[in-house]
Chain A
Amino acid sequence: MIHRECGVLKTTYEADMALYPLPIARWTVGVLAVLFFLVVPMTVHEYYLSLANLVWIAIIGALGLNILVGYTGQVSIGHGAFMSVGAYTAANLATRLGSPWPVNLLAGGLMAALVGAVVGIPSLRIKGLYLAIATLAGQLIIEWTINHVTFISGGVQASIEVARPRVGPMVLSTQRDMYYFLLVFVGLAIVGTLNLMRSRIGRAFIAIRDHDIAAELIGINIFRYKLLAFAISSFYAGVTGVLYTYFLGIANYEQFQITVSIDYLAMIIIGGLGSVLGSIFGAIFVTLLPIGIRYAMEAFGGVFFSPQTVLNLIPNLRLMLFGALIILFLVVEPDGLNRLWRNIRNYFRVWPFAY
């Protein structure tokens, strides 16, 4: 967080594992909460709030994927498909049964967790590259199924309209309403992940990541914990899908294709594998990158290209920059933005003294 950690002397394991590492951390969290719950939504324009909403949704998905890839060490290229499972479950429930959003959200998450656990079953026998390819197959098969089974996809365009969520008598129709709605879930997801990683389950995940055979020898049931990691991670993905569906007002399989899976993987790699703060940084960075590129190209692209080509180039420039950033981070800074942030903080820890 933002405060300076100097003069920290922890003498017990409990102190080292505490959710707030220092008393001042409570204040930092409090200030951030006031900033994001009160100051930002009151002062910022509706358009920027819609960007913030996209970032919030991405943060939840990135946290979920980081639980699986960063903490448990199981690669998944199928998270876009798990999101679509959540989205279509919620959309079908909402339109067929008219159930309220909390039910849909939970059902979407649980359904995605179930599908995720099934896709994760091969992880018991295979790992690494083979698992990556198996989840890739899962992604393509789920995509095909949703697209071809009209009972799920609701007909030709494979898209289902969903009514705006309502809290009590209030319908959440503006971006500002959605901002509060989504921010609550972001808070829950962050606290949930932090606490999960402090618990027995989280430690087991980390043990499996570091060496799965050794973890089995010290008595961790690999079968259970690997499937649990897939289920929890897919639950987050399903919730992301449901929230995105409510945000857009429509469930559409095109929002959850393989490029989305890769986007989320890029988020956690650029942000930092195995870190909550890293997932947040990565989600912000990758979500805002295309918007930044669009602004930059509209401002300076005309110098080099004609206006028509600029429009054509924007998506391609995004692809190239995106790929280049993934490679750059992997080669130069494997721990991602989180590491850069820690370096900055360590520098200022004893500032202005040298050491």
Chain B
Amino acid sequence: MLEWQFTLLLLSNGVLIGLMYALIALGFVLVYKATDAVNFAQGEFVMIAGFVVAGCLGVWGVPLWLAVPLALGSMVAFGFVLERVMLRKLIGRPVIAVVMATIGLASILRGIGPFTIFSGTKPLPLPVSDEPFVLGPLFIPPIQLTGGLISLAFLAGFSWFFLKSRNGVAMRAVADNQQVAMAMGIDVERYFGLAWAMTGVVSALGGILWGNMLGVDVNLALVGFKVFPVVILGGLDSIPGAIIGGLIVGIVENVAAGYVDPYVGGGTKDFAPYVLMILALMIRPYGIFGKRIIERI
């Protein structure tokens, strides 16, 4: 294979994987944007959604057209309950409280598998063929293409929601200043719940797509670690930032893996995004599209 073809292949894979990262990062951004809370359990959300779908398909024999809405519904309910039971109590507390609470939640979700029906890896079959599309030098796996398209659709949808719809505008007001929003008659708590439910929807889709690619077990949650470089690069509260960050991370990790792995013996994929992230934190900590915070005493 020629050199430029190899590079092009790495780039195209990077773009598609990056869009799928962006989908998961979107869940993180939605919550941070609306509620100022961070979700260190984003990967575990994806994993749980994968559990639900794979359980429906493989164990209870529910057809796919029913399993997907079931997963979406249960994740929405999960988001609402979580906000009501845990996160509402932590409003106004230091950052470490929310960080540790979501880490604790991640720990619970990781342990829950074997107590239900889950031990070992389960497949999550989707009606998408395994044969890659061949476009000149490019091999595009259909599942990644589907994932990329779904990500783009959702990102466009959420952009519209925040810019134009009444709920979206209210949510932006809540994100900007909770007290003023409350004074203007916005039900702040309702929008907090809504933000977590939206994260649930995004995580459910992420769980279905990534679960199909990787198989469903506890390691599916490791996808969540990739969220941090994506959101730091793009900006924690920016939806276009999630796409751009996802694309950068996807491309960088694929190109780095393609060119550096032969020399260091693997693992560059998990390493390069974090180096990039540290650089971003040093140079532009609020990200490419993030809101710059000015602090007063």
Which of chain B's residues has its CB closest to A76's CB?
B96
Kindly identify, within residues 321 to 336 of chain A, every residue whose CB is under 8 Å from any CB belonging to chain B.
322-327, 330-331, 334
> Which of A137, A265, A309 lies in contact with B100, CB distance below 8 A?
A265
CA distance A323 to B105 in the complex (A): 6
A126-B281 in contact (CB<8A) = yes
The reply to whether A316 and B232 contact each other, CB–CB distance below 8 Å, is no
| Measured CA separation A213–B277 after assembly (Å) | 26
Stretch at the interface among A140-148, A177-185, A195-203: A140-148
Question: Which of B107, B229, B232 contacts A323, CB < 8 Å?
Answer: B107
- Encode contact with B along A294-324: 1 for CB under 8 Å, 0 otherwise: 0000000000000001001101111110111
Is B90 interfacial (CB 8 A cutoff)? yes
Does A334 lie within 8 Å of B228, measured CB to CB?
no
**Is A115 at the interface (CB under 8 A from chain B)?**
no
Identify which of A147, A312, A318 contacts B119 (C-beta below 8 A). Answer: A312
Query: Does A323 lie within 8 Å of B111, measured CB to CB?
Result: yes
Known: A125-B282, A140-B274. A132 touches B111 (CB 8 A): no
Distance A326 CA – B115 CA, assembled complex (angstroms): 20
Closest residue of chain A to B231 (Cβ to Cβ) is A133
- Closest Cβ of chain A to B158, distance in Å, is 21
Check: A192 CB closer than 8 A to any chain B CB.
no
Question: Which of A269, A317, A323 has a CB less than 8 Å from the CB of B106?
Answer: A323
* Cβ-based interface call for A136 (8 A): yes
Q: Is B131's beta carbon under 8 Å from chain A?
A: no
Q: Quick one: which of A126, A128, A213, A330 contacts B101, CB cutoff 8 A?
A: A330
- Could you tell me if B105 and A133 are in contact, using CB atoms closer than 8 angstroms? no
B285 touching A126, Cβ below 8 Å:
yes
- List A contacts of B176 (CB < 8 A): none
B60 smallest CB distance to A (angstroms): 21
Please tell me which one of the listed residues B93, B97, B114 contacts residue A316 in the complex, with CB atoms under 8 A apart: B114
Indicate whether A266 sits within 8 Å of B108 (C-beta atoms), given known contacts A137-B228, A316-B115: no
Contacting pair A75 B96 (CB below 8 A) = yes
Give the size of the chain B interface in residues (CB under 8 angstroms): 45
Q: How far is the CB of B120 from chain A (nearest CB, A)?
A: 10
Complex-state Cα separation, A125 to B106, whole angstroms: 28
Choose among B89, B107, B295 the residue with the greatest number of A CB atoms under 10 Å from its CB.
Answer: B107
Chain A 188-214, CB-CB to B under 8 Å as 1, else 0, gives 000000000000000000000001011
Instruction: Let me know if B100 and A330 touch, CB within 8 A.
Output: yes
Q: Is the CB of B95 within 8 A of A141?
A: no
Interfacial residues of chain B within 253-288, with CB under 8 A of chain A in the complex = 264-265, 267, 270-271, 274-275, 277-278, 281-282, 285
- Cβ contacts under 8 Å, B104 to chain A: 266, 322-327, 330
Q: How many residues of A contact B (CB 8 A)?
A: 47
**Which B residues touch A334, using CB under 8 A?**
93, 97
Interchain CB contact under 8 A, A130 and B285: yes
Contact A320 B107 (CB under 8 A): yes
Interface residues in A208-262 (C-beta closer than 8 Å to B) = 211, 213-214, 217, 262
Interface of A is mostly: helix
**Taking CB as reference atom, which chain A residue is nearest B96?**
A75
Write the nearest CB–CB distance from A203 to chain B, whole angstroms: 19
Known: A126-B281, A128-B95, A319-B108. A213 touches B270 (CB 8 A): no
Interface presence of A55 (CB below 8 A) = no
Chain A residues, Cβ within 8 Å of B113? 316
Complex alpha-carbon distance, A254 and B95, angstroms? 28
B93: chain A residues within 8 A (beta carbon): 330, 334
B143 within 8 A of partner (CB) = no
Contact A327 B101 (CB under 8 A): yes
Output the least CB separation between A7 and chain B (Å): 36
Q: Are A319 and B111 in contact (CB under 8 A)?
A: yes
In the complex formed, the residue of B with least CB distance to A128 is B95
Other A-B pairs, 15, CB within 8 Å; known A269-B96, A320-B115, A326-B100: A122-B285, A132-B38, A133-B281, A138-B278, A141-B271, A141-B274, A313-B114, A315-B111, A316-B111, A319-B107, A324-B104, A326-B103, A330-B90, A330-B97, A330-B101
Interface residues, chain B, CB within 8 Å of chain A? 38, 86, 89-90, 93-97, 99-101, 103-115, 119, 225, 228-229, 232, 236, 264-265, 267, 270-271, 274-275, 277-278, 281-282, 285, 295, 297
Point out residues on A near B: beta carbons under 8 Å: 69, 73, 75, 122, 125-126, 128-130, 132-134, 136-138, 140-141, 144, 147-148, 211, 213-214, 217, 262, 265-266, 269, 273, 309, 312-313, 315-320, 322-327, 330-331, 334
Q: List 7 A-B contacts (CB under 8 A).
A: A129-B38, A136-B228, A137-B277, A137-B278, A318-B111, A322-B107, A325-B104
